[in-house]
Chains A and B, each alone.
Chain A
């Protein structure tokens, strides 16, 4: 099949297709190399497993999809027309079993009527059992390539750039525009998805040639411009931002410097689109057979790659362009058997080929590997020709994707039967073939609808479009979703216009009136890794280290993620399980003393003459009466009246307060405070400083905490909910007497840079008093038993202060955020879920279980946190229950179907330990 002009680089490279080794020339696309090796059958179609070959020579290829590369580098659904062969390239065909030639799934093709338009919808509407039965087979049978199982070993980078002029497409129009801008002193970026500039000048030699393209490129570079090949402008976003996806290695290839692809964000002063057009196929029965190709693609293979895809060629066209292909084929030694020109005589006759006017193809015959004959109609009379290649040209569809993504409108060009760019929204213009496509003959020939493919990738035929119409789908958007037309990896680049013409014909309207689906980014498929860039794997979210991280790490704790942080969950001794360690630590707090790192709590220093005014806006409790040196519990509401966070507020000095809130909600609270301070109340004389990471925090809790603290500071410890400044290990600290555990407890805050000596001295004192360190798990046991709330558990964004029995603490003066929301009648209606305690009557209460009155009943609440009594044993939990306050004493079932666990529980008050709060008092 190799034509006479195939360039001889002198250096053949080898690749494999389905395991067989072939040779290629440097510069070949995989498609060109396959054609040169006489391979016609490249893939199996999505639904019917029909044999498919290579149809195009560009990114619009719907048929020739292959998996390229191996292991984590494998890239499924790679267009054979859009990968350049490198030595060792390994390609596999897709969607076939056991092999490409003998494909079991092709039997589906025999059942084609079953898989017509709307098949999935109809199946879903039937009994669920039917779908459950089919699903397994459908998922196996219908499909594209398989995603690789291994992680991609290569890196993906991202880069931002600015330029005065961004030119998309390095055909003659794009090169000329970029050259002109560069000559005018503009900063230019020229992008081209191919690996060479001016490829169409090789296909269609004109006055400008490859030498001109090279000279232009040199000039653009010399004036400081950038030229990016193998780079696709994939998306046009707001304010002239264009994303470029650049291939630094071919699919499956080991990249030279480890980076496989790069994503560019280019903010351009002006964008020039020279994106050209895509040739349209023609619809007629069996138009999808290997050996049926687009006319310009045939010309590209002949002139650029020196591969002649056929020797006896029929050409079907409705325009002049296809005659250039006829000439190219003739030069390459192929025989032009016939040209079927849809236009009336004498169109095309001047070229001297066997041209039939008023003619169009009607069917093809052949094997699964190749074409054998073409039949058609000439002036209403059937004719047939032996041929091994059918080149078709149904006109040209301008590539208007980026223009439309930028918000531009389209206009209908009747001569070209195509949409062309109309009004631009952003600073963008379209030039060249994309703006003015070649004229074509407008009348669509009458052909049988069955097996006349319009969308090759999704196996949508004219009959499917007709069926959708018959079933009432009128809008082009509905047609798309019902038939899957224009979906999948090619996004309808070759198919949309054909289907639209059919829909318009059915509607009896002109094509522009039938409407058009939306052009969305990306223009061609983009690897997910490129979006992630360097944020892949563990770099997706940042990690923050506690100031005392090294101190904890030396004790080899079990770590637990909490927000951005990792905190010790427990400090197990040799042989201890997590549960055993946590229970030992919790008992130490209940009976002696324990200490833990609470540095991650959100902390804000709020100061100034209007500090109270700000606090009383943010907090739903009263703050104004707080004396210097005192603190209290507080909580915060959203505007709709629901509690979103809680914490404590301390008056450190006359006009200086410390506000603490939850670790997980720290960023949200920081934003909220900033919003209230800057947007809602810019007039307040107050400063809000986030001191979360500035201060490290150490909690010491237990009956012996007071004596430990007295030893540490040498002073009388503050009473419960009081605060004093002190020194530990010579370092200034702030001591807050607050308790989360239910024991007499203190929180010691210290400049994070000086935390280690303070921690060391505290640990010595605690351990010397018979205490130990405790982690988050023990803290959870302690607070659940005490009935203290946690944000994200009991405070889940759906609970009001009433639901949490916090309403008595509300600031009666009002004026806080959420006060208006709380007045909504629905928030005080019966049936709301309310905070309750739960005691196991039988069994252990499963985490996250739901509360039901009997098996099979609807849930009336759920368990938010479960634990065990620390000193006495026994399972207990906190939960939310409809009308829970009125249901104390009632027995329910806590059931977790996902864990397969359940327990009988009794509803009680949510305080299992020291409900009078006597242990806080000295």
Chain B
């Protein structure tokens, strides 16, 4: 009898340990998500079937999995934060989250992570949320394959798509973000990766990086954002294989680098931006294998930058290759291909025999006096440019590529 009792107890314990599935929906065990969550125990799965759920703020405060089947709609009615994650180990998958509250006092989000770790947010659709996915003190979380769309016109009315603040070891993978203020926003985020995201048509930046070190962003597309991408006050940031396209306008940049050090910018493509890369107070950056095509300015390197190494890049069809604001040059620009190079190669080693000066006199003048742009490509300015090439006086003497390539690199 005693033995049997023991076995029974063990069985009971086992069954209690086993994760249950709690279905939510019309004609299912639970009608609302909230009741299912209160009933759920650690490790359970809440399956939400399709339908519209208006349940104000849903708080996930235990390590459970919330899965939407056929994208159930979770509506915040423009008043509430839709999902708040307050426990580690939560997974949210396959939900359609719409219309979170909009506030200038609180940061309402579609999904917000509060001080926890190992959260997975995957394959959700977020529409018209203020902030999309917000991580506050999150650690080791994965935000993957979500689709975020917002349609506000004013920056104040819109939050950021994926917003991470004081987080660590985040993985932001393959999300699509449009129409938010900043597509992806990082502040005090370390050791994280942003991979294969598509951030387009956001009101301000496609990607906004502040005080975030030891991060990488790889193979993302940043297209047609109000002000491009901005990376500031960080070190050890790696930017590899990204696309920066059509970031147009005054103060719009492919990448804006400010107070950045020890980074890598490799194998990126900058196409049709007003300014491909703008650097200010930047040091120790390695740049190679990038392609700059049809930009207004491929690069603007301010004199406050040092130890920037630009080698093995292609500069094709840019209006201006380089611009700078002073005569001090502490950077090297050797071994790139410049389509404006007019030198020769007598010994046939595919390296031009005379150095190339990427800063034209006209770009120096325009930098000092922007309205001169109205005379661009006129006879007199090309005449001045030619004289400057023969006798450099205005352009910085050391700003040159001593080994310009004769043929474009295959990139």
Mutual binders A and B: no
Chain B contacts to A: CB under 8 angstroms? none
Chain A contacts to B: CB under 8 angstroms? none
